[in-house]
Amino acid sequence: DIWDPQRLMECPYNKHHRIRACRFPYHLVKCRKSHPEVAKELAMCPFNARHLVPRADLCDHLAKCSDRGFHQEDVVNQPDGFQGKQVNAVSTWQAPPCDEDWET
């Protein structure tokens, strides 16, 4: 069961590590620091931060990622007018004219 928090998962940094799913994110942070040479070779999936794959295999993983559907579903379910709309945060505030002359 993929939703079972007690299921064991394999660490991408050390294949001998088996971690409960509920502790997996914490383990990844700790193990990444312990294995910086392996961390350089792995890429993080943009759909699920728990998916760490070799950089060369990232494109293949993205095409087959099981969490990709959740991301696409979120984009489709955005309120009308929200999807693709960019927020233009340009300020129209202008400073009032200054009567002070610091040179005099």
Report if residue 50 sits inside a domain.
yes
Report if residue 69 sits inside a domain.
no
71's CB contacts (< 8 A; 6+ apart) are 46, 47
Fill in the DSSP letter of residue 54: E
Report if residue 60 sits inside a domain.
yes
Residues in the chain: 104
Report if residue 73 sits inside a domain.
no
Task: Name the pTM for this structure.
Answer: 0.63
Q: Six-digit token pair at 22?
A: 């509920």
What domain range includes position 55?
Answer: 8-64
- What is the domain count for the chain? 1
**In which residue are the tokens 């001998």 written?**
16
pLDDT interval class at 57 (50, 70, 90): very high
Report if residue 99 sits inside a domain.
no
Find the mean pLDDT for residues 77-85. Answer: 56
Report if residue 102 sits inside a domain.
no
Report if residue 59 sits inside a domain.
yes
1 vs 11, more confident: 11
Find the mean pLDDT for residues 65-79. Answer: 67
Find the mean pLDDT for residues 53-66. Answer: 93
What is the spatial distance between Cα 33 and Cα 91, in angstroms, rounded to a whole number? 42
pLDDT at 73 over 60: no
